[in-house]
Structure 1
C-alpha cells in the first residue's frame, strides 16, 4: 500500500527554535541507535518511522555506526527515503554523526578532518541524500586540534553536504572553545547533543549556561536512562529486559537495584499528573533542552512517548518533589 502521511501530523507537536538559529525541532525526535539495523525486521523499522512522522516527529537522528551492522540504520533510512518518504524530504530533519569507530585503520575514528569528511560522504551515499540537515562531531578528540575538527564541520557546510553542524558529548569548556572556533569560521554551532535525564544531570553543572550564552540549542539522548525511567522496572528486573542482558554495558542489574526506590517514587508523581513515568521523564527533560531523542522497538512505544507533549508544564511543588527524590541517590 502506498504510504500517505497523516493530514493532521502538525496539529499537536510543538516545534521549538534551536538556539539562536532559524532551525526548529520537534519536542520529540526519533533516534535510530537501536532497532533499525540488520538484526531487526525492516517492516517494523518502517512502521516505527512512519508512525513517528504521522505523529509530527520530523527529526530522525542517526550516526554512521548505528546498526548493527555499522551503517545499517542509515541504509534503512535510505530505503525509506526512496520509497515511503520520497515525497517528504523537505519536511524532514535528517542528522548524522562521526566520531566513534566506523572502519578499521587510523582514519575511521575520532575527529580528524580525514575521518569526518569521508564519513559524511559515506553517510550521504547510504541514505541517497545530497545533504544532511545536521552533521555532528560525535565526541571530542583529545589528540586532534579542535580547530581541525571544527574546520571539517565548516567545510561540510560550505560544500553543501550539511545545512547545520553540531557537537555531541563535549564538556562545557570544550563547547565554549568549539563554538568560538566555528563562529570565527562563519559557521555557527547550532546544536549540542548531550546525554541527559533525571538520573544523569551533568549538563546542569556549566554546560547549559554555555549553551545559553552562545545561543546553541540542545537535544538530549538517553532521556529515559536506557529504560530505567519507564514502567519497565517498577516491579524489579524482567528476565527479557535490557538490564538482565549480561552483554549490555549501558544498563546493568546493579544500576536498576540502586534506583528502584526512586523509580517507584517518581512513578507515583507521574500517576498524580496523569502520565506514565516515561512521559513525565520526557516532559521534565524538556524543561531544560530543546528536544529529546526517544528510542523505540515498536510503534506503540513512540505513540506513548509522544503523549508527553500533552503535559509539559510542572507545578513548582512537583519539581521540588522530584528534586527531593533525585537527591536521595
Structure 2
C-alpha cells in the first residue's frame, strides 16, 4: 500500500504560471518517452511515485505518448486509479492533441472533431473526469485558428479541462491564439516549446518576451537536447543510445557535429567547476531562464530522476558563469 512521503513539499519550489492562480513545481515529469509499454509497468510506477515523493506534482502527457501510442496515459491511469487515487487533488495532469493519433481524416491536426474525440479517449485511458491542462500540440495552418481555440475554450467551459495551453507555436501565432481564447472567455495559461542551452529559438524569435508580457507561462521540453547536454556522447555514440538509431528524427549521428561536441565539452568543464554534472547544470540553467514556470524532465530510469532533482541545490549562477555559457553556445 503506497503512502506518499510526508515531507514531499519541503524542498520543491513552486512557481506561479504567468498571471494565473496556478502553481507548478520547479521540475515536472514528462511522459513523452519511456513511460509506455516499452518499459515494464513496475519501473514506470516506481519513477512516477518517486517523483511525487520528491514534490513533483505535475505529470505531462499527450495522446500519442508511449509505445504503442496512448500507453503512457494508460499506465498513468492505472497509477491514478490505485496508488495516487487519494492524492488526485494534489496533482496537475496535462495532456495534448495535435499530432497524428489514428487513421483517417479525424485523427490529426486541430479540428474541433479531433480535439474533442482525442480528449475523450485520453480521459478514459487516464481514468479521469477532467485534466488540469489540455494543450493543442502544434499549430495547424489548414484549420481556422478560431475553430481550434473555440474548441479549447468550450472544453474548459464543459469542465473537461481546468486550463488550456499551446505547444510548438511561434510567437505571432501564439499571440493570435491568446487573443481568440480571451474573446471566448478563457485565458491562455501556458506554452510548451522546445528549449535548451543549445536551442534558443524562443528567445531569438521573441516568444519569451511575448509570453511574459501577456502573462502566459512557459514550460520547456527537450531541455537536454535529446541527451546532447549530457556526457553520453563526448567520446563516441553508444549503439544502444538514442543517437545510435539512424532512423531517430530527433537525434541521430548527423546532429552530433564537431562544432556541437566542442560546445558540449566546454559546457561540461563549466559544470564540473560548479560541482554538477552537465545534465544537472542544463536543468539548473533552464530553471533560472526568464519566463520559465516549470521545466519538463524526461527520464528513462530512477537514477536520472534523482540526478535531475539535484539541480534544485544549484539554481544560482554568477554573472560570470552566465556570460561564459553565452560565449560557448553563441
Instruction: Give the TM-score of the pair, scaled to structure 2.
Output: 0.97
Which has the larger displacement, 47-56 or 247-256? 247-256
Q: Which residue of 2 aligns with 1:146?
A: 145
Structure 1 segment 64-83 matched on structure 2, within 5 A: 64-83=63-82
Q: CA shift at 1:255, angstroms?
A: 1.4
Partner residue, 1:60? 59
**Structure 2, unaligned runs of 5 or more:** none
Matches within 5 A, 1:1-329: 2-204=1-203, 205-258=205-258, 259-286=260-287, 287-288=289-290, 289-327=292-330
**Deviations for 1:102-125, whole angstroms, at most 9, x for unmatched residues?**
111111100001100111111001
SS in 2 for 1:156: helix
Give how far 1:54 is off: 0.9
How big is the shift at 1:233?
1.7
The secondary structure found in structure 2 opposite 1:274 is coil
* SS of the residue 1:38 aligns to: coil
Q: Please state how far the C-alpha of 1:235 moved relative to its aligned partner.
A: 2.2
What are the superposed Cα offsets for residues 57-103 of structure 1, whole Å, 9 maximum, x if unpaired?
11000000111111111000100001111111011100000000111
Distance 2:181 2:47 in 1: 35
Over the aligned positions, Cα root-mean-square deviation in angstroms equals 0.9
Q: Which runs of 5+ in 1 are unaligned?
A: none
1:111–1:141: 8 Å Cα contact kept in structure 2? yes
Q: Deviations over 1:107-156 (max 9, x none)?
A: 11000011001111110011110100000000010111111100000011
Q: How far did 1:232 drift?
A: 1.4
Q: Give the secondary-structure state (helix, strand or coil) at the position aligned to 1:117.
A: helix
Q: Which stretch of the first structure deviates more once superposed, 131-140 or 259-268?
A: 259-268
TM-score normalised by L of structure 1? 0.97
- Conserved? CA contact 1:55–1:303, under 8 Å: no
3-state secondary structure, aligned to 2:102: coil
Moved more, 235-244 or 82-91: 235-244
Residue aligned with 1:318, SS: helix
Give the secondary structure class of the aligned counterpart of 1:232.
Answer: coil
Does the 8 A contact of 1:236 with 1:260 survive in 2? no
Q: How many Å apart are 1:174 and its aligned residue? A: 0.2
Q: Structure 1 residue 231: deviation in Å?
A: 2.1
Q: Cα deviation per residue 1:23-73 (whole Å; 9 max; x = unaligned)?
A: 111111111111111121001101110111111111000000111111111
1:234 CA drift (Å): 2.4
